[in-house]
Amino acid sequence: MFDSSLKLTGHLSVSINGEVVQEIPNLVVTTGKNYVASRMKDATATAMSHIAIGTGSTAAAAGDTALGTEAARVALTSTTVATNTVTYVGTFAAGSGTGSITESGIFNASSAGTLLCRTVFSVVSKASSDQMSITWVITAS
């Protein structure tokens, strides 16, 4: 018997000033799975281009379409593909998205847009002088 199920899994790591402070599993939400399926058909849907952080604490759920409380969103610094993984990196400069950060998501627009994945994590304090980088790895298996 063949098992040809396609699974999208992965994790993200959060760094403050170059030091990894958390590694968290991700959730590819329903809109993200629909997005991947649509890209298999054609390139009508805009590519993932932004990463957001927020202060919401509601657990990530398959039906999410946005962050709970978005604090900042930036264009991705890099996107790379290797074997069956896509790695997205976003960097929040000093002064951008400060406070008690507890969630992150990947979107295909600078505002609103399609949410690919979302995760909630324990508080990462980002002071106004801190730089935060998020590296998000999605694996298709």
DSSP per position, 76-132: -SEEEEETTEEEEEEEE-TTSS-EEEEEEEEESSSSS--EEEEEEEEEEEE-TT--E
Tell me how far apart the alpha carbons of residues 37 and 44 are, in angstroms, rounded to a whole number: 11
Q: Does the predicted TM-score (pTM) go above 0.85?
A: yes
Q: How far apart (Å, rounded) are the C-alpha atoms in residues 65 and 17?
A: 29
Q: Where are the domains of the chain?
A: 20-140
Tell me the mean pLDDT per 10 residues along the chain, length 141.
Answer: 76 97 91 85 90 97 96 97 94 96 97 95 97 95 86
Cα–Cα distance for residue pair 61/46, rounded to 1 Å: 23
Residue 78: its pLDDT value, please?
97
